[in-house]
Structures are given as structure tokens and as C-alpha cells.
A and B are shown apart, each in its own frame.
Chain A
Amino acid sequence: MNFSPTKMLSVMKMTVTLLLVTVMQVSASSYAQSVTMTAHKMPLERVFSTIGKQTGYAFFWDQQVVRNLQPVDVTLHNASLNEALKICLANQPLTFELAETDKSVFIRTRAAERRITEDQQQLITITGRVTDDGKEPLAGVTVTVKGTGKGAATSGDGTYSIANVDPKAVLIFSMMGFQTHEMQVNGRAQINITLAKKVQNMNEVMITTGIFTRKKESFTGDAAVYSGEQLRTVGNQNVIQSLRSLDPAFILMDNNLAGSNPNVMPNMSIRGKTSIIGTVDKFARDPNQPLFIIDGFESSIENVMALDMNRVANVTILKDASSTAIYGSKGANGVIVIDTKLPRAGKMNLSAVYDNTFYFADLRDYNMMNAAEKLEFERLTNVYTPKDASNTLMWNSMNERYNKNLNNVLSGVNTYWMGYPIRPTTLANSYSLQADGGDTKFRYAVGGRYSTLPGVMKGSNRNTASGNLDLIYRPGKFSFTNRTSLTTFTADESPYGSFSDWVKAVPYYKPTNDKYLDYGISPYAGDTILVYNPIYQLNLPKMDRTRNVNLRNNISAYYQFNDHLRIDGRASITYSNQQHEIYQSPQMKDFDKKEASQKGLYKNSTDRGLSYEAYLQASYGKMWHNIHELNLVPGFNVASNSISSDGYSATGFPAIDKIYPGFASGYPTAGVPDYARSVNRSASFFLNGYYGYKRRYMVDAIYRKDGSSIFGSSVNHTNTWTLGLSWNLHNESFFKNIGWVNFLKLRGSIGNPGNQNFSSYNSFTTMVYNRGVVNSFGLGSNVYSWGNSDLAWQKTLMKTLGVDARLLDERISINANVYNNLTDPMIISIDNAPSTGSSKIMYNIGNSRVKGYDVAVSATVLNNTKERFYVRISASTKKETTTYGGLGNILDQLNKSNAGLINSNNKDNYHSYATIAQNLERYMDGGHPNDLWAVRSMGVDPGTGKELYLDKNGNLTYTYDAVNVVNVGNSYPKMQGTVGVAVQYKGFGLNTIMRYKWKSYQFNNALFGKVENLTRQQVMGENLDKRALYNRWKTTGDKAEFTNIPDFRYGVSTKDISMSSRFIQEESSFAGESLSLSYDFYANKFIKKVGLQSLSVSAYMNDFFYLSNLRRERGIDYPYARSCSFKVMAAF
């Protein structure tokens, strides 16, 4: 019989054993731990009982075996039990086991023992550490046991452990960028190894287009790849913010209106705008927005913004035709491909990230008057003086008002209204937890993130929560991946409304809780005093909240037939639900003039979306004799996106603190429920072919045929093609001798990706039922939109030439591109004669050409691997212009109406920022979308204080006439780019990126609307810029920047509005976009002690300085914010 090899026997097993042994010796009297005895030819059984007696240990043996053995001769003196047994059993085929806690000794035959140990030796546990050439630990190295499914990945300190390995097995160590190493185990339990970096490892960088992957060396397109690590070094807010700093081609537009509102999505462009005046319906996207692909499927910008940055593995920006054409009619604006991390094999890895960000409201650009200055300015403009001075009644009433205000000023009232809606600092938190693990066959990852983002205006918030579950199953040639993600956000708009209202509030009023700050009726109509108290408005119940849930499931599978051929199938399904709720108190000023049944508002609208996308594709790749290389990727794609939205409004609320829709007394007059539904489908075929000769010459071609439900009914397909060529000079024999060139590639591409971001059903004439009315005959229908079935789809012919180089032992890397993109024809929606029955018409006309170049250079100045000391500098620059052509006079009407947008007849809107911006725009051949048009100004005449203009013919005139409007500048910078420095020394890291913009022309809102072009109403009711008081012309000879202070005597008509070049100023700026400091505790021993694999802390500052030669108000409706963040990252 055999004993169990287990050290500790259970009581049960022990009982069984007891029954089997014939002799049992138990001694309770002696507690000696040493054995002293002399025996001569003593049978073993006696030896055991003797030792048992002395030590108090119970002995268990197999009688049948022991009885047949030779007796022993032994002399022991104070030997330990262990020694004693060893000596006694030295020449016997027996071994023993001491169970100290049970005070038992088990005697076994040696044969049995040997069998057991042999079993154990068959599978061993191997541990070890993987380092690089510089003896630094390498994390994430995949260690697999050759020929089996077993494997593990190295952790942060480079260590790994694999259990149950055959001692004769071979381990494979592999990692991207390093040479794969195979190692015989030969029974070793510890294997430490150093992996060598791959020669020209940069060439192994893979470009992922989202549809196929390709080595960068053999890619003919222009694509930039950024690792998740790079993105996280630059910032911790979101992918978009970090890309902006990293890539020169990626431009994030300043939104001067929305400032840093966390609920407004950014506008961006990669290579200029391909569309100008697109029509955008409820569900359509910004026609200039790039296409986002997350893990192979199209995604919305909201999802990109909500994506946990810690999950990002890498981001690829596809810029030119050769790289974007695979997306056919969607790719013209560029494509941003984001891949999230796949689960790693190994023991469960747990990583936790905590970020916090402080935001600081940036009000430095505001330059508003204080109470005394404001009143003084009012006095200077004579607003308290009637034209008819003999009218004592009026004179007195106005004087009374002045004195009341003066009293306030003298008693020290100086309210800083701007401070009310602002949280000077806010703290945004983000918690992210990810766990992953598994073996080479099956891996999993599960994680979640919760983040809060309070805006700098009180009450504005964006809270995001997301979770993901990724599963991978890879049994050999077949692979199956399922990824599920849930994202939700709640966005609250600030109840404080537009920030501009607070900027305008007059400082000499006390911040009371009354409805009006000042209220009264002067004896003459037209001068009613009615100053709303913004604080009162604020305390009224109101809400503007959006809640969104987005659930996505991606499934992908492939089958690898052999090294050359594989078939891929992928499908994604997304469900989204977004609810937008608004309520407004009946006491708000908007409802002042409404009857009771129409006061107050509750609005609820819900959008539900369901979209799916599926791919089926094959890839074939083969290389013959190391000379000819061929790749073919044919595939199909179908996609469908449907959104339906419904909503209703209710009104007639009681003036109470809480509003629920149930309190409504009815619907708004003529109100009907809203419903809209849009379905877009597309089906496409694509083929990518690649041929490379000796890794020197490469040809890439893409053809894609897109069918979409939104194309015209007579043109329901569109073809996209592209051709790319590249030449790897570094692989040429004549270049091999030039040692300092590691990589040099010239490439060029041409192609015509399209733009599909237009509203649906442009091509059909559609009708809708008359809303909310019937007659004896029932319903009626009316044309909703007149379709144009001949509308051709907007295509962009993109041409790009580029060079990629890496020099001096990979120390310097250069990427430069020149491009010329022609969109012809554009789709333009223009005004139509109303007699045609529709006021707008969609046209195929005109073209726009984007020309430009971008260069990015980075250099490693210092590279000391031993000390972990690196210094890298980088710089990028971009210049771009867009010009219109072929428009003829088709947009004259638009230009004319833009010219007349602000005039003194239309006082309601001439200080509206959006109206002014549109007023400055003109569309004509040779023009630029960002050109600003105004009458040229020669400045203020020191003699008269009046403005001198230059007319079209160059003559001086005092009269403002919109006819003399010319192009006075362009708001797109002549040159812009970034400069960055990255330093690393041991655990410390410093990274900074600064942005410069050179020579852009900006409209100065503050000068136009708060210094000049004032009205009597404005002077009396709104706060103004200090410069209105100090810098305006006063006496003859003043070389003033601004015209004379106007006379707003009651009854005198005011001056006309003039849009002159004086309000459009040249701006050059230099801004600190990102600064980060980090420390990695890799060298500190304590992290091991507390059970961590790695720990790092970082601090970031965004927009930490802003130098500009121009002082203008930024953030009209919502102020800008600077930020400062901290991040702790730990892995367990």
C-alpha cells in the first residue's frame, strides 16, 4: 500500500491508517526532542518504538514491508529526531516523513517515494525576470511555452511566473519591438533573460486603419500613430485634447462662444474644411468632422470624449487619400482610429487610476468698468439729459435717477456680478479600475470608470460612467473576441444661463433678491426703467439636463487558414437612449408678457438610436523569395443607423419651487407632440491591393463602392479609388552605406474620398401631414422638402506628397507632407426665390481647394539608458489655406444678406456674437472660408474724433458705407504649430508642449460692442469695457484709439453701426498647452512590500499660460478655464 504524499493527513485518513498498522506506539510521558540509543541488530520495528518513546512521536509503518528488512546497528547520542531517523534508515529502502504538528512520523518505502518525486519533477514552476539591453525590466513581454497554450506576461517589474511546465520545454519570449527569444528550460526553475531590441524596430510599427493592418514601412499613406502612453503623457482629460497637442495636422477650433463648457463637443479638422454651407438636419453631423473608429467600428464624438484614456492602446490618424479611402464616402475629413487595449495573458492584473483635475475660471480677458466708472461714463454720454432742456418734468425725473445711482456709488456699492455664476475652482475626479488576465487561449478584461466634471459655471456638470467587458478565445487557428461596453453620461447646463448676461450686469446695483434691480416708469414713454435682477432669475426653479445611455457590443472572429490567408468577420451593435429635459419657472422674464396659461415650460425629448455595422473580409499576404510581396484585402460592409426621437412640451405652471410635468395646465398654443425618425443604411464593397518589390517600391490601391440610402435615387452608388506609391530609399543599395540614415521614405497618393455627413432624404420629395389641424375631410399633407434626385455627392480629390525619415541612429525623426485637396462640386444650400415654394435649394456648385503643408520633427538630444536619462525635443508646424472657386455669383444673395445683418434698424441682434460672425463672412471665388470682410479704417481723426474710412477706390471718407467692404484679414493663422520638450531622468518625467499661432485676424467683440457702437439703451442698462471711458477721443488733438464719446441725450437719434477693420485685429499668440510632471516608483523597494507591481504619480497643467498681443474677450457664453490635474496609477 502507499501512503498519500500529502504532508498533512486528514483525521479521516489517519483513522484508516491506524486500522491498517499492526503496531502502534504512543508515548505521552517523554517530551525529549533528542534521541540517545545504542542498538545492535535491532529490528526496525523496535527502533521505531524506542525512538517513539523518547520523543513522544507516533510512528506509522507498513508492517509487511518493515518486518522483512534487515535489522540495524546504530549508536545515537543526543541526535535530533531527523538525524536519528536518517541514520537508522540509511541503508534501508525506506524513507520517512515528519509531521511536526501531529507529532507523527510516516515510514514509507523508497520506491514509493521515488515515484512521487518523479511525478513532481515532470512539471515545474518557472519564474524569472526579463530585462532589456540596458538591464531595465520589461513589462508586458509575452512568455509562452512552445507548443502548448500555456503562457504569461511579465508584470511591471519584468517578472513572470509559469506553473506546471515540462522541464524539457522551450520558452518563447516575445514583445513588439524586441527580437523574439527561445530558451530551453532544461529543468531550471528560474530563467532570467535579456531581450535584444530589434534592428530598425521602428519599421515594425503597425498602422491600423481599422480595416486592415500594415507595417509602417510598407504603408504608402500618411498616417500618424500615437501610443496610449504618449497620449497619457500629454494630458489626462480625453483623447481629443491629447491628440491636439501631439499631431500638427489635427486642429481643434477655438469656440469663443462656448468657452470651456464641458457639455459642448469640440469642433475639429484634420486637413481643412471640405464643406462650407452644408445643411444639417436634427440627426446630421457636422459636415467637417472627421470619422471616428473605435475598435474597428464607427463611433460618435460623444463616445470618443467619454472613452477612458487609460484603456487606449493606440490612436492612428489617417490623413491622406491613400489611408482614408478605405472608408470611401465617409473618409474625406480624415479618420481617427482608436484601438483599446486587449486583455493580457497571465495572472489577474489589476490596475487602478485616480485622476483629479482642478479647473480655474479664466476671466483675465474681461476688462469691465467698476460702479464709479460706469456712472461717470453714463454722465459723459448725457443719458440723463433730455434734448429739450426746458422740460423740467423730464429733467427732474432723470436727475432723480442719476442721483439714486450716484448714491449707490458713493455708499460703496460695486457689485462684481461676474463672480456670481463662477466657481473659481472646481475639482473633477475620475476613478478607473481595470482587471485582466487569462492564458493564451482565453483572456478576459473587465473594468469601469466613473468621472465627474463640474464646469466653472455653477450648476454645469458632466458626469460619465462606463464599464467594459472584453473576452477573447483563441483555440489555435480560430479566434473569437467579444467586447461589450456601456457608457452613460448626465450633462447639466448651468442654470445661470449665458455668462454674457452677468458680464453685462451693472455694478452700481446692489445684489438683492428682488425681481428687478431698478424699476420705474419715467413720465415719457420710451424710457421705462426695467432692470431684471439676474440673481432673482437664478433662484427660480429651472433645469436643463441630458441623460444618455449607450450600450455597444462588438463581436469579431477570424479564421487563420495558414500564414497567408485569413478570413475576418466583425459585427457591432449599438443602442443609445438620450433624454433631454428642460424646465423653466413661470416667473422667468421670458414669460413676463405671456398669459398665465402659457407661463413656465417643461420640455422632454427622447432620442433612441439603434445602429449596427458588420464586416466580412479576407486578407491574403505572401512574399516570394524576399522580393515580391503581395497583400489583398477584399471585403464587404453593411451599416445601418436609425434614430427616432419624440418629445412634448407642457406649459402653464404654478409659481412654486418644484416643477413636475404633472403640474402643467396644458400645452403651448398650437403645440403638438414631436416625432422624427431617420434611417440611414449603407452597403459597401472594398478592395485593398498592395504590391511591394524588394521592400523598396510599393504600390497601394484601394477601390470602394458605396451604396447609401441617402444618395440621390438616380445616383445611388458612389465609387472611391485611390493610388499610393512609396519608395524606401534606405533599402536601396546605394543608401545602405550612408550610416546616418536609418529610414527614408518618399510617398505620394491621390484619391477621391467622399463626404456623407449630410442630411438624409435630400434626394426625395417628401411630404408631412399638416401639424395639429384637420377639417371635415380629415388630414392634409404638405411638401416637407423638395428633393433633388440629381444631386451629385460631394467628393474631394486629395493629393499628398510626403517624406518620413529617421536619422542618426533613430535620434531624429521627420515627417513632412504637402497636400492639395480639391472638393468639386460642393453641395451648397442657398437661398431660393420664395415664389418657388421653398426658401432654400441644395446645389452642386463651386469648389474649394485646401492647400497646405505640415512638418513634424522630433529629436532625442540625450539618451543615456543606464541612467534612464532622456531628453527629447519636438516641433511641428502647419500652414494651410482654403480657397473657393467656381461659385460665380450664386452666393451673392447670401453675401448681400450677410452684409446687412447688423445695422442700426435691427437693434435686437447687432450685438449678437453669431450675427456679427456671419456678417464678416463672404463667399466668393478666390475667397477663404475664414476671411473677414469689413470696411477699411484709417483710425480716428485726432481733429474731430470721428473715424476715417477708406472706400473701395482708396479715398478717405467719414461716411460708413457697406459697399466699401473688403477682405481685411483671415482668422486662420498663417502658421501654427507646437514646440515640445520631454525629459526623463530615472523615475522623473517632464513633458511640455507649447502652441504658437502666428498672424491670425480676430474680431474683437469687446471693442465692437462694449467700447464703440453703443446705444442709449445699452449705456443705461449694461456694463461696458473700461476702454470706453478711458481710451475714447475727448479733445481735439487726441490720438485716440476710439472715436469720441457719443451723445445719448434723450430724444437724439443714435449713431449708425459701423463694422470697420479697426475691430478686426491681428493676433499672434504663444500658449502653454500642456505641462506634465511624473514620477514612477519603479526603483523604490517599498512598492513590493505593499503588494504593488507598479505605482506612478503625475501632475498636469493645461493652458497654463497664454501670451497674446490682443486683448479680447474669450468665452462669451461660457468662460474659459485653465486646468491642473493629478493622477495616481497603480497596478496590483
Chain B
Amino acid sequence: MKKVIIYFSLLAGTLLTMASCKKYLDVRPEDKILKDEAFSKESGFMTQLNGVYLNMSSYEMYGGKMHMVIPDVLGQLYNTNGNSPYNNMSRYAYTDEKTKTFFADYWSNAYGSIANLNLILDNIDKAKNVFTNNNYNLVKGEALALRTFLHFDLMRLFGPIYASTDSSTMSIPYYSYRSPMARPYLKGNDMMDSLQRDITLAATLLANDPVLKYGPGGDSTSNFTSYRKFRMNYYAVKALQARMYLYRLDKVNALAAVQDVLNAPAAYFPFNTGGSIPGDPVLSQDCLFMLENYKLEDSYNKLFATTLFEWNILMPRTDALTSLFNQSADVRISPYRWNLPSDGSRTEKVFYKYSPIITSQGNKNVRIPIMRAAECYLIAAEAAADRPTQLQYLNKLKAARGADLIVSTNDFTGEITKEYRREFYGEGQMFFYYKRINAANIQDGTAATGTVIAMGKAKFVVPLPDAERQIHLPNP
């Protein structure tokens, strides 16, 4: 009898163990979030998407190196001579180890964010039913648009010069989904085709973006649908689309894409007026898309602060600044943006655009302009069919910025170039502009006005990082 009981309990134990085994072994990590768990509700997708915005706003990405350093140093906006840690970069010495590290970080951070976005895109369609309202379209549309944005910036930096016969040469790999193995390199034009497909789809998904109905403040019924300027909204998508068309020299479509922004209600993206500059030196009002970084002060302290060692400060030559901004009414040369240090430590103007503005709520200068309406006017000016219309768009911007208007010019490209220089200090567009127009010579940031650097493929096309080239074979 005793034996029977024992055997029975053993058998019962076995069955019980087998049944509860799977549950027992299903251990959820506490300090990490399991993908399946996160994506079982819409907030998981939203948090993951916000993670990418936060990544992008970091010092490693658009809160610093990818926005304020690399494209601007390459675009000769700063005086980086002598012992500057950026000197090799500004000389296009791409074999220098420290410069290589900058580009390798650019590459891996951008692709890292792309992989994070793809995690959303790979899973969102399976989980469509967990979303409420229009949120599925917003999350998917923004994720897709951001993925396009990041791919496109990689393409602008590492890809071929599109405005040349090289547009069909190999560029960079395109990740339409997260793949543990490297995806093949695409030809420049195939890459652009893919990206344009993506951005068109993103625009469709964002057709009901609250920004269209409520303006930049968004639909304040939920946090997620508010503050549309801090997200990749419909207008930003259209601007990006225009940027990409112009890159492919498709002026007609560029001009068409930009119309939505230019015709947006006036209150949406007004230009900053004089009085608003002290509290808003980044001129955020016409921004279509900004990133928020509460620690932006750290970036400022690493790049522009006068407390830095002399040659570590990113600042232009005084003569470059004076020749560029010959009209003091231009809000872009406002003393809240450019000034002599109040402590008298320097005799040339330094860049205060990103310096902290301390209020009772802390630093309120925490916004990083990523895309702005000003660029749309410049795109329209380049894309317009005839000179008068072109000047009309350009003058519209100039007037808004308080600069003298141009009645006529023989060097329209030169004017556009100057306008890019004025508009995008610290916003990482200069090098991309030069590369897009395949400029033969550009002003040397370390030398007197008029001294130019002869450009070319070797300088415009940044080599792929070693780690990618060595593992990801065959190379372009």
C-alpha cells in the first residue's frame, strides 16, 4: 500500500512537473524589456519610437557630432586650423585614425537607429489591432520617415556625388527590415528609388497627421499626438521629400513637394522676429522638425563653450563672419547667436546659438532644429523654373530674416550658397549642399575670405568605415 502511494505521488509529481515546466522556465528579465512583451501594446511601440528620437537628440547624433560637427566642419564653417582636433577632418584626411572614428560612429549610430526603427516596422503590422485612433498610422509613418531620413543622411555623407555620372555607382546598404546579416550595397539611384518609395508611403500614412488639423501643437487630447514639431510630422516628411527630389535634381517634384509647407497656415511656421531671438536663439519658430535634448548644455560645453581649450572651440574666423553677415539687421547674426565672450577671454565672436538660457525651470535652450521652413524656401528658389520666381522665393526668406533683398544677380548659385551658410550654422547642411551641387571650389574655413579648397570625389565621398568594409563583403 505504502509503495502504491509513493509510486502514485511520483507519477503525479512527474506530470505536474512536465505541465508547469514550461511556465517555470519562462523567465522574464526584469532590467530589460522583452520584445514580445513590449509590442503587445501600443505604448511599447511608442516608447520604442521615442527611443529613436532620444537617440537622435544625443550628443553622439544630431545633438552634437552628426549635426554640429561633422557636416559643418566638412562644410568649412569653422576655423579648424593648427591643433584643432577637427583639423584632419576639415582637411578631408579620411585616413586619419581619429577622423575615421568620427565617421565610424556616424555610421554605426545611424544604422543602429535604423535597426531600432526596423524593429517597430517589422512588428507593427502583426500588432495593428493593439492601436487606437490614428496611432498606428502615426507610429508607422513616423518610423518609416525617420528611417528614410537616416538612410538619406548616410547616403549624403558616404554615397557618391549624385550630380555626376556616379549616381549609379554603389552607395550604401539599405535596410528595409532588420537583418542579422549585412544587406547588400545598393547603387545610388536604386537607393534613392527605395527611399522615395518609403517617404511617399510615410506621407500617405501621415495624411491625417494632427498637425494638419491642429497645427504644431497637435492634438492635445493625448501626449503622443501633441507637440508635432518634435516629431517627424507630415510637413517634415514633405520637406524631406523635397530635399530628396532636389538631391536627384528633380526640380519639378521638389517644387511640388515643398508647396505643402509653403502654403501651410501662416501661424504654423512663422519666422522669428527680433524680439523673440533672446529667448530663442535657435530660431525655432519656422522649424518643421526639431529634437529635444534636456542635456544640450553638455553638447554646448563640449563644442562651443569659451571655457574650452582655445583650439577645441568650434568658431569661425572673424573675417568669415563679417563678410557673410554684412547686414546687422539679419536676425541670424543677432548678438544672442554670435558675440564676443562677456568674460573677455576671446577677441573673436563665438557661437552662442546652443548656449544654455537658464530660467527658473532650468535651461530652456534644448531644441535642435532638424528641418525648417527656411530650407523649403531655398529648395523652391533652386527648383523654380525662372530667375524672377527664384529670386522671389529667396527674397521671401531674406525678408523674413531681416536681410537686404536681391534685385538681380549674376551668381544665383553663389547667393544660394551664402544663404545656406547664413542659415545653417550648427545645423549640419553645408557639406551636403556643396556635395549636392558638386562644387568645384569651396571657401576654406581656416583661411582668409577668397581662399578656396578645390573639391572632388576624393573629398566629397567619405570612405566607408573599416569595420563595415572588412566584414561586409564585397565592397562597392
Contact = CB atoms under 8 A, between A and B. Distances in A.
* A and B from one complex: yes
Interface of A: 561, 567, 616, 618, 636, 638, 644, 669-670, 675-683, 685, 707-709, 716, 760-761, 764-770, 773-784, 786-788, 831-839, 841, 893, 896-897, 905-906
Contacts of B13: 616, 636
Given A561-B3, A833-B182, A835-B172, A775 B48 contact: no
B55 interface: yes
A904 to B, nearest CB: 12
A706 B230 CA distance: 50
A782 B30 contact: no
B468 A835 contact: yes
Contact of B472 (A682, A777, A835): A835
Given A761-B32, A776-B230, A836 B182 contact: yes
A834 to B, nearest CB: 4
Contact of B29 (A636, A679, A783): A679
A119 B65 CA distance: 100
B55 A677 contact: no
Contacts of B35: 764-767, 787
Interface in B287-313: 291-295, 298
Interface string B155-178: 000000000000000001101001
A786 B180 CA distance: 8
B107 interface: yes
Nearest to A830: B471
A683 B23 CA distance: 11
B326 interface: no
Contact of A780 (B17, B51, B107, B115): B51
B295 A773 contact: yes
Contacts of A636: 13-14, 17
Given A675-B31, A773-B294, A781-B47, A682 B223 contact: no
Contact of A760 (B24, B29, B470): B29
Contacts of A906: 97
B53 interface: yes
10 contacts: A638-B17, A675-B31, A683-B17, A709-B25, A761-B32, A767-B32, A768-B31, A783-B116, A784-B32, A896-B470
B359 to A, nearest CB: 16
Contacts of A766: 29, 32-35
Contact of B51 (A782, A786, A831, A835): A782
Interface size class of B (residues with CB under 8 A): 35 or more
B25 A779 contact: no
Nearest to B10: A618
A678 B108 CA distance: 28
A780 B54 contact: yes
B465 A834 contact: yes
Nearest to A841: B180
Interface string B33-49: 11100100000101111
Contacts of A774: 54, 294
B111 A837 contact: yes
Nearest to B226: A776
Contacts of B17: 636, 638, 683, 685
A678 B29 contact: yes
Contacts of B107: 834-835
A775 B3 contact: no
B21 interface: yes
Nearest to A709: B27
B106 to A, nearest CB: 10
B374 interface: no
A707 B35 CA distance: 22
A773 B111 contact: no
Contact of B227 (A638, A776, A834, A896): A776
Interface of B: 2-3, 6, 10, 13-14, 17, 21-22, 24-27, 29-35, 38, 44, 46-55, 57-58, 97, 104, 107-108, 111-112, 114-116, 118-119, 172-173, 175, 178-183, 223-224, 226-227, 230, 291-295, 298, 465, 467-468, 470-472
Contacts of A782: 48, 51-52, 55, 116
Contacts of A683: 17, 21, 24-25
A418 to B, nearest CB: 35
The 8 A-B pairs of least Cβ separation, nearest first, read: A837-B115, A780-B51, A833-B182, A780-B50, A833-B472, A834-B108, A766-B32, A709-B27
Interface centre among B29, B112, B227 (most CB of A within 10 A): B29
B30 A764 contact: no
Q: Interface residues of B: mostly helix, strand, loop or mixed?
A: helix
B179 A836 contact: yes
A670 B294 CA distance: 12
Contacts of A897: 470
Contacts of A778: 47, 50, 223
A679 B27 contact: yes
Given A680-B27, A766-B34, A780-B48, A837 B116 contact: yes
Given A669-B298, A837-B175, 15 more contacts: A675-B31, A683-B17, A708-B25, A766-B32, A774-B54, A776-B230, A778-B47, A781-B51, A783-B115, A832-B180, A836-B115, A837-B114, A839-B467, A893-B470, A905-B97
A775 B57 contact: yes
A835 B50 contact: no
A783 B116 CA distance: 6
A777 B24 contact: no
Contacts of B22: 707, 716
B269 to A, nearest CB: 19
B88 to A, nearest CB: 13
Contacts of A905: 97
Contact of B468 (A783, A834, A841): A834
Contacts of A680: 27
A107 to B, nearest CB: 61
A841 B178 CA distance: 13
A249 B30 CA distance: 41
A567 B6 contact: yes
A681 B21 CA distance: 10
A636 B18 CA distance: 11
B55 A770 contact: yes
B32 A837 contact: no
Contacts of A786: 115, 178, 180
Contacts of B108: 834-835, 839
A767 B48 contact: yes
Contact of B224 (A567, A679, A777): A777
Contacts of B26: 709
A783 B47 CA distance: 11
Contacts of A773: 54, 57-58, 293-295
A927 B54 CA distance: 45
Nearest to A567: B6
A683 to B, nearest CB: 5
Contacts of A841: 180
A779 B47 contact: yes
Nearest to B172: A835
Contacts of A685: 14, 17
B115 A775 contact: no
A670 B104 CA distance: 22
B35 to A, nearest CB: 4
A26 B33 CA distance: 99
A159 B25 CA distance: 55
A127 to B, nearest CB: 42
Given A767-B32, A835-B182, A779 B50 contact: yes
Contact of B25 (A618, A681, A768, A777): A681
Nearest to A775: B292
A677 B29 contact: yes
Contacts of A775: 50, 53-54, 57, 230, 291-294
A565 to B, nearest CB: 8
B185 to A, nearest CB: 9
Contacts of B34: 764-767
A707 B471 contact: no
Contacts of A832: 180, 182, 471
Given A707-B21, A760-B29, A764-B35, A788 B180 contact: yes
